Amino acid sequence: MAAARSVGMEAEVAALRGRFAAGGTRGAEWRAAQLRGILRMAAEAEAEVCRALHADLAKPYTESYIALVKSSCKFALKNLKKWMKPQKPLGVVLIISAWNYPFLLSIDPIIGAIAAGNAVVLKPSEVAPATSSLLAELLPRYVDGSCIKVVEGGVAETTTLLEQKWDKIFYTGNGKVGRIVMASAAKHLTPVVLELGGKCPVVVDSNVNLHVTAKRIAAGKWGCNNGQACISPDFIITTKSFAPKLLEALEKVLEKFYGRDPLRSSDLSRIVNSNHFNRLKKLMDDENVSDKIVFGGQRDEHHLKIAPTIFMDVPLDSGIMKEEIFGPLLPIITVDKIHESFALINSMTKPLAAYLFTKDSKLQEQYEATISAGGMLVNDTAVHLTNQYLPFGGVGESGMGAYHGRFSFEAFSHKKAVLVRRFAGEAAARYPPYSPAKLKILRGVLKGNLGAMIKAILGFPRGK
């Protein structure tokens, strides 16, 4: 079965290479037509997409982010011809998307790959089966199926895909699988973009607008797939004296957002499956942190729901502080002075995003200079994701490469250097036999000396 699957996949990739080699994906009109097709799909199939997202994650409509797909398409269409001039497509690319935003994280990279003129294979996540099935059904109706393919399946299908030779692999997911992707890519020296994650810190100074800060943290944490997002705030650092005020503000905001019984709120996504529910349950039930819960803690295993849960001063060596939480649990760590947060953050792996709430411009400058992260946002969370003019990507263990806007186009493009010379202007100094006069001119040329360059172009030293 595995051998047959591999042969079939090789044939699919070979067919895509044939289409690319024949120029099927390179013309501006073809690229624009595919982008317009995706734009139509986002508009016409919006209800279907929302139903699939709800089936997979109980996502509220506001978290479908179809508007972001439309925005990406329009931005690419507007700039396509300008972007195309200095760039060349790579060839046939593989996109492996994630389950937490299964529509957005599938289509957004495809937009960049198509705009750049590539043939594409999409492997959507099997952990979001309704959306995966819908993508396999929808895309052939709106784009050129001979150049853009969807492959459904699980680990076996992904493994077979990774055995093929690609011109680029774009993977969104966790670091464990990211390492597998990178190891597979290394066999063919295939370049990769890895959009991973990490423990995204939120440093909260004591001089902030407390109500706005609490709302923006809550929106970035629980309003982003109930914490199941790579840029979701993972933990807060604030001072011991300010922590009670921040906790009180968060409690008020969360009750306003999701009511007194958040498990019944239709605005709170569920945990994706029982495996992830049990993983989060284990973090909550750890004897070192279970008595640190200061808000929330309710859960409904039957419906895979966990309420927004806040912890205060959990041990730094506990599981909840050692791994990316990827769920509705939020520890608050307290320090004596806010600057102590820098060393704590830098003792961990580099996050995909780092957040700071402050009115102190000097603290902001120090944070920007000291903390290494894929992206940084001051006085808000998560919204940098929506800015088409900013690169979105990780650093260190949070990933490599970036996309969004022009950066998506460049992620799937090659800057090919082309120099065309005329037959006139022979530089005699470059050819043997060499003499002191020739070497003097050559050294001058390499140093950028204008006089030496002119002599070389004019053919000096002549007759030697």
The catalytic residues are 195, 230
Of 227, 229, 230, 252, the residue nearest 331 (C-alpha): 227
3-state secondary structure of 461: coil
Residue written as tokens 């506001």?
62
* DSSP H or E segment with residue 141: helix 129-142
| Cα radius of gyration rounded to whole Å, the chain | 26
- By C-alpha distance, which of 200, 196, 175, 197 is closest to 345? 200
Two structure tokens written together for 153 = 């399946």
Could you tell me which of 172, 222, 196 has the C-alpha nearest to residue 382? 222
Between CA 226 and CA 272 the distance in angstroms is 10
SS3 state at 147: coil
Residue 334 CA: distances (Å) to CA of 88, 235, 341:
50, 11, 9
Give the number of residues written for the chain. Answer: 464
Strand partners, 235: 201
Question: Which amino acid is located at 354 in the chain?
Answer: A
* CB-CB contact of 332 with 310 (8 Å): yes
Q: What are phi and psi of 187, to 5 degrees?
A: -60, -30
CA angle 168, 174, 180 (to 5 degrees): 55
Cis omega (within 30 of 0) for bond into 315: no
Residue with tokens 């950066």: 407
Strand partners, 353: 375
CB 185 within 8 A of CB 158: no
The helix/strand/coil state of 102 is coil
